Structures are given as C-alpha cells and as structure tokens.
C-alpha cells in the first residue's frame, strides 16, 4: 500500500504502534503537539520547580508546504520557527531553544540562506528562543527547513489533547477558514498570534485539553476526541467563519493556528471572558464533548446531525 | 555567492555569527557535535546530580547521503539514529530521547517506511533511546530522514572540541580511510561502535577535547584546532590506515565515525592503555597540539612538513 492510500494520520498511528508504549519518564509521547519529558530546568523561565521539557519538530518542504515564488526566504524562516512555537504554546508552555536544519541546493545563493536565517532570528528574538545548533545539508532540488524546538511547562500548566471529559465545552479562539479562502501568502499569516492566549489558558488551570488548529478545525476536534476517547458535537451556527471564507473552508481549511480547547461547562463563560478581556481575542463556544459512542457530529441550527468529512488538511493525500 | 562557493563549514560560521553569542544557559552552542544546555534530569541515566542536556540533529537526504539502490530502508533507519548517537557519544554523554522526521514521496510504500522505522527501533533498543515524537511530511522526490537526539552528560564528563592545550597529544581510535576505500555500503558501516570508548574516555577525565571523525581525520583535527585556538602536527607515519585504503583516504576520507581526542602528554599512554584494555579497540597517538601560529601541519618520517588539503568531506562542494 502507498503512503497516499493510508494518509499521514493513519501512518503516524501505525508507526507509533510499531515504536511501542512510552516509558515512565515520558509524560506525553507521540501524537500531541509536542512531546513532554520529565526534566527539570536549572535556569528556568517558568516559576515553579516541577516542570517538563517540551520538544517538537516541524519540517517545511518546498513545493509541498511553500512555493518560493510566493514566499520570501525571510518570511519562510520566520514561519518555520513560528509553527513550532505554536506547538509548544498549545501544550501550555514557553519555548526555549531551537535547532535549525536547512537542506538546500548547492547553487542557492548564500544571501538567500542568510535571509532565511534573518527570518528565523527575528522570530527567535520575538519569542525569546535561542538557536543553539542544527545541520546544513545539501538537497538535490527542493529547499527543506526543519526546526526542532525545546520548551518548558510547569507540571500544573501542561495541557494535552487527551483530558477532555464528557460534558465539557469546546472553545476556539479567533476565526477559521481565512487561509483557505485567500491565496497562500506567508506574509499575511500570523502563526504565532495565539501564544499569549495559550499561556493564559494554561495558567488559568480551567482547560482540560488544548490543540493548535494547524490541520483544520474539524481535524483538531477529531484529534482531541481520539486522544481523549470521547465524541463531540460541533454546532455549525457557532463556527466563527473568517471574512471572505465559507463554512466549508472554516471546517476543513487548516493553517489558521488558532487554539481549540475544552473546559467544564461551569467554567466556560469565565475562561472565555478572561481570555477576551486580557487579549481582545474573540473566543467562541463551538460545541460539547459527548460520549465516544455518540461519535463526532456536525449539528445544524435545527439540531439535525450532518455528515462529517473524514479529514482536515492531510499530508500524503 | 553560491553555497557551493563557500562550503558547509564557512556557511556554518557565517550563520553562527548572524545568530549571535550563546547565552549563559548554553554550555556548548553551535559548532560542536551536539549542543549542551543546563538542565537537570529528574529521572537520570547518569549518576551525578549536575548534568547537561545534550541535543543534536542529523539529516540524511537521498542521492546526497545515500542511494536507495545501495542501502535498505532498515539499514538507513539504523544509520540515521546511529550517526546522532555518535555525536552524543563524542560529547562524553549517553543518548536518551529521539524525534524522527521522515519526508517521503506519497507513492512510497507503507511497508518501506515501516522498514525504515524498524531500523530506527533496532538502533533505539541497542542504544537505549526512546522515540518520543517527530514529523511525517511529503517530499516531492527525495527521501529525507532527519533525527534529533537528546542525551545527557555529567558536567564533569562533558567533552567539547574547544579545550585542547598546547603540548597535548592527539589520539585516535581504530583506523581511517576504510569507507573511502570501499564502495559505499551502509550495512558494513558501524557508526556506533565507539560509544563505549567515548564513555570510557569521558569518565577517565583525562581527555581535554573530543570529536567524532564523521567528516574525516584531518577535518576533525582542524575542527579541534579551530575551536581550541591551537595548531597541530599530524605525524603521517602514525596515521592508522585501514586495510585496502591509502594514506590520502585515511586523511581526507571521512565517514569512519572514529574518535579523535586530546590529552596531556603525561596521561596519553595511560589513557591509551585503559581504552585498549577495556575495549580491545586500538588507539594510536597521531601527533601533538602546538601553538596556533605554527598552524596545522602534516609531518613525514623525516620530520618535514607537508601540505595540508583544506577540507575533509564537505557538503555543498
């Protein structure tokens, strides 16, 4: 069977099974925005003594994730770091150190690679990340930018995908469908804009789960449901659809880098208000977590279930 | 200017300068086998309380670092992890956790990707490494395997490239030129074989610097000299040339994954004997560290200096 026939998400499941269960020191293993391991920082950015080391990696490949005609090297560098920052933020943590790997054709100009690193440096300064290493390799054709980001999070602030409870409310920041509605332009993307909101959500200790919506709204809810072994009802009239976008794009578009998170029914209004007051970012109540056997459903204004497309943005397909 | 005109080593220098000086929490930054940062393990594989977190990354790109005609997916996976293990070992440390990124064409078979992961898993078991995350992305053509490896090392056992002293002796494990002399065949490579030796050298606390010789013997000595701001004399009649290889291949071949390290003149014999007794691996005394202004020289049997080729194995060139 070809990769295109199984898709990225099933492939990851297959590979994770092959690799076996995580050991005791691994707090969060394969299948979340970042892995979390038990390591204590000596010179910590976070306040408490008990913290976890977060580690995540994201790779951008030319002609798959970006086209050089449309993105400057500077913007590409900025984005490559920012998508990783978004993953660390979605765990409730703060980023610390990065490793940068660039694969480039030998005929590429040094100036362009330096532009790429200027973009990475700019993002690094903004998010207080330090680049401490990496690798530069030759690539026959496509440009590859792969970044591994370390971060840390206090034990009590760690947020995963796996703790959503039946009866919880699903909330989302911002709007969806924007990137799908406009032609791809990395300059207009703000993949990092929810780091502050993520930290507020983590510190509130009210949320039960969180994910960043890089792969689309429905896919994000699916991932929370899969990890938490629950079902969900998404109310279509509650989906915050971006200007110029249609509902379909908001549900399946991806690349928004908004936050999708859950909290108990009794705390939802308080958490929503706290975020909106501190950041002026709109928070919408999207739906509810239900029992696993009820599945994941889209519910229209009349309360009728409607069909769910299986995938959001998926690689290999 | 093109990348091919500056080469990998000057490019790394340029980029490192662009990124600025490392902060206080960074014990070893860009330009060593791995970066080292001040983080303390709670569940530690090493005995002392004061340890550093090591982190390194290596990327293998099809048709640059390997050809699929000649290497099985299993062997490739094994090697991809093992080269990183070699980097952590060269810092004196032990590996702990890995992130695996695979970029593959969507028409690649799932079975082949699983073979790749079987190879990674085999190496992971052997070196007691746990794979805790990664990324799977689509690649238009070439297969890409990128691994980031974490490790740890006691503060007192950390070995870098930068502490070689004038008057020190240069030692090497094993033989050189083998990979350059035979046609590339990943099955015959044992990139990990010096992890035990590296740990013995680190624990002896006799060595002043260490590097793994992935980029060739001369390049390894050059890197130690650059980082330590010293010069070196390499005695040509002391170079351990592998069977079937010639001196030129031993000096500039690369891919041996042997250890190149330095120690004081008074301890060289003791350290050499300790390694050889515990591991049965031959250790050769290659030459001496001299003042920087004396440069890096190859010295023949009659004591005459000879010319030094500028680079070992270098990407982009």
Q: Would you kindly state where each structural domain of chain A is located, as residue ranges?
A: 3-157, 169-306
Rounded CA separation A65/A221 (Å) = 23
- Fold: same for A3-157 and A169-306: no
**Tokens found for residue A123:** 């993002």
Q: Which residues of chain A have pLDDT under 70?
A: 40-49, 183-192, 307, 309-317
Contact between residue B219 and residue B260 where contact means Cβ atoms under 8 Å apart: no
- Whether chain A has a CB inside 8 Å of the CB on B135: the answer is yes
Please write the tens of the pLDDT for every residue from A155-205.
999 999 999 999 999 999 999 998 888 765 544 556 667 999 999 999 999
Residue in B18, B133, B144 nearest the CB of A57:
B133
Sign for the pseudo-dihedral over CA of B115, B117, B120, B121: negative
Sign for the pseudo-dihedral over CA of A78, A99, A88, A238: positive
Per-residue pLDDT averaged across B239-258, rounded? 92
Model-level pTM? 0.90
Buried b (16+ CB within 10 A) or exposed e, A148-171: bbbbbbbeebbbbbbbbeeebbbb
User: Which ipTM value was assigned to this complex?
Assistant: 0.87
- Chain A residues in contact with B48 by the CB 8 A cut-off are none
Residues whose CB falls within 8 Å of the CB of residue B273, separated by 6 or more in sequence, listed in order: none
For residue B317, the model assigns a pLDDT of: 58
Rounded CA separation B310/B219 (Å) = 8
Residue B163: is its pLDDT beyond 80? yes
> How far apart are the CA of A208 and the nearest CA of chain B, in angstroms?
22
For residue A317, the model assigns a pLDDT of: 58
DSSP assignment, residue B123? H
- Whether chain A has a CB inside 8 Å of the CB on B21: the answer is no
Please write the tens of the pLDDT for every residue from B45-55.
554 457 899 99
Are A3 and B140 in contact (CB < 8 Å)?
no
- Chain A residues in contact with B4 by the CB 8 A cut-off are 106-107
Are A37 and B97 in contact (CB < 8 Å)?
yes
H-helix or E-strand spanning residue B169 = strand B169-173
3-state secondary structure chain A: CEHHHHHHHHHHHHHHHHHCCCCCCEEECCCCCCEEEEEEECCCCCCCCCEEEEEEEEEEEECCCECCCCCCHHHHHHHHHHHHHHHHHHCCCEEEEEEEEEEECCCCEHHHHHHHHHHHHHHHHHCCCEEEEEEEEECCCCCEEEEEEEEEEEHHHCCCCCCCCCCCEEEEECCECHHHHCCCCHHHCCCCCCHHHHHHHHHHCCEEEEEECCCCHHHHHHHHHHHHCCEEEEEHHHCCECCCCCHHHHHHCCCCCCEEEEECCCCHHHHHHHHHHHHCCCEEEEEEEECHHHCEEEECCCCCEECCCCCCCCCCC
Please state at what angle helix A110-126 crosses helix A73-90, rounded to 10 degrees: 30
Please write the tens of the pLDDT for every residue from B181-196.
876 554 455 666 799 9
Q: Which of residues 44-83 of B touch A (CB under 8 A)?
A: 53, 55-65
Per-residue pLDDT averaged across B154-180, rounded? 95
Strands B283-290 and B169-173: antiparallel
Q: Which of B14, B4, B64 is nearest to A109 (CA)?
A: B4
Strands A130-138 and A94-104: parallel
Q: What is the dihedral of CA A186, A191, A192, A196, to 10 degrees?
A: 140
Residue in A1, A2, A22 nearest the CB of B130:
A22
Q: Which of residues 203-262 of B touch A (CB under 8 A)?
A: none
Strand partners, A62: A66
CA distances from A107 to A27, A103, A111, A142, B14 (A): 43, 12, 12, 12, 17
Name the closest residue on chain B to residue A28, using Cα atoms. Answer: B132
Residue B126: is its pLDDT beyond 50? yes
Residue in B23, B139, B316 nearest the CB of A130:
B23
DSSP assignment, residue B176? B
For residue A180, the model assigns a pLDDT of: 84
**Tokens found for residue A140:** 């026959």
Please write the tens of the pLDDT for every residue from B301-312.
898 988 676 654
Residue in B53, B61, B317 nearest the CB of A139:
B61
- Chain B residues in contact with A42 by the CB 8 A cut-off are 25, 38-40
Which spans in B163-289 are helix H? 178-181, 195-204, 217-228, 247-252, 268-279
H-helix or E-strand spanning residue B170 = strand B169-173
- Chain B residues in contact with A23 by the CB 8 A cut-off are 130
CA distances from A303 to A128, A252, A297, B129 (A): 46, 21, 11, 50
CA distances from A75 to A123, A148, B161 (A): 10, 18, 34
Residue in B37, B118, B130 nearest the CB of A97:
B37
Are A110 and B11 in contact (CB < 8 Å)?
yes
Name the closest residue on chain A to residue B125, using Cα atoms. Answer: A19
Query: Phi and psi of B287, rounded to 5°?
Result: 170, -160
Are B114 and A18 in contact (CB < 8 Å)?
yes
Q: Which of A26-35, A201-210, B4-13, B92-101 has the lowest mean pLDDT?
A: B4-13
Strands A231-235 and A296-299: parallel
Contact between residue A84 and residue A149 where contact means Cβ atoms under 8 Å apart: yes
| CB-count burial class (<10 Å; 0-12, 13-18, 19+) for B244 | exposed
Residue B40: is its pLDDT beyond 90? no
Rounded CA separation B68/B71 (Å) = 5
Residues whose CB falls within 8 Å of the CB of residue A218, separated by 6 or more in sequence, listed in order: A234, A251, A252, A298, A308, A309, A312
Rounded CA separation B54/A89 (Å) = 23
Instruction: Provide the pLDDT confidence category of residue B41 given band limits of 50, 70 and 90.
Output: very low
Size of interface A-B (CB pairs under 8 A): 262
Q: In angstroms, how far is the first alpha carbon of chain B from the final one?
A: 13
- In a mutational test of the A interface, the residue from B132, B141, B315 whose CB has the highest number of chain A CBs within 10 Å is B132
Rounded CA separation A113/B15 (Å) = 9
Are B150 and A55 in contact (CB < 8 Å)?
yes
- Chain A residues in contact with B35 by the CB 8 A cut-off are 97, 99, 132-133
Are A136 and B57 in contact (CB < 8 Å)?
no
For residue A187, the model assigns a pLDDT of: 46
Strand partners, B154: B51
Percent of chain B clearing pLDDT 90 (strictly above): 68
Homologous superfamily of A169-306: PurM-like C-terminal domain (3.90.650.10)
Homologous superfamily of B3-157: PurM-like, N-terminal domain (3.30.1330.10)
Strand partners, B135: B101
């Amino acid at each position: 069977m070809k990769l295109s026939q199984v898709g990225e998400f099933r492939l990851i499941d297959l590979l994770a099974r092959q690799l076996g269960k995580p050991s005791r020191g691994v707090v969060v293993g394969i299948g979340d925005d970042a892995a979390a391991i038990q390591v204590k920082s000596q010179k910590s950015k976070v306040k408490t003594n008990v913290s976890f080391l977060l580690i995540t990696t994201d790779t951008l490949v030319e002609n798959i994730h970006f086209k050089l005609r449309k993105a400057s090297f500077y913007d590409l560098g900025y984005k490559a770091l920012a998508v990783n920052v978004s993953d660390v933020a979605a765990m409730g943590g703060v980023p610390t150190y990065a490793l940068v790997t660039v694969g480039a054709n030998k005929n590429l100009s040094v100036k362009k690679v330096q532009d790429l690193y200027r973009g990475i440096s700019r993002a690094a300064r903004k998010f207080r990340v330090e680049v401490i290493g990496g690798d530069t390799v030759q690539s026959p054709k496509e440009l590859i930018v792969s970044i591994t980001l370390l971060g840390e999070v206090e034990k009590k602030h760690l947020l995963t995908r796996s703790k959503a409870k039946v009866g919880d409310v699903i909330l989302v920041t911002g709007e969806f469908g924007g990137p799908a509605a406009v032609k791809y332009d990395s300059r207009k993307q703000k993949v990092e804009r929810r780091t502050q909101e993520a930290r507020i959500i983590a510190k509130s200790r009210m949320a039960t789960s969180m994910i960043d919506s890089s792969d689309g709204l429905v896919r994000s809810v699916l991932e929370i449901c899969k990890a938490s072994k629950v079902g969900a009802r998404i109310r279509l009239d509650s989906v915050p659809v971006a200007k110029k976008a249609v509902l379909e794009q908001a549900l399946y578009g991806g690349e928004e880098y908004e936050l999708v998170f859950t909290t108990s029914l009794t705390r939802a209004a308080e958490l929503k208000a706290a975020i909106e007051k501190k950041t002026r970012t709109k928070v919408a109540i999207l739906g509810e977590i239900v029992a696993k056997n009820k599945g994941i459903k889209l519910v229209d204004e009349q309360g009728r279930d409607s069909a769910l497309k299986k995938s959001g943005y998926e690689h290999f397909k």
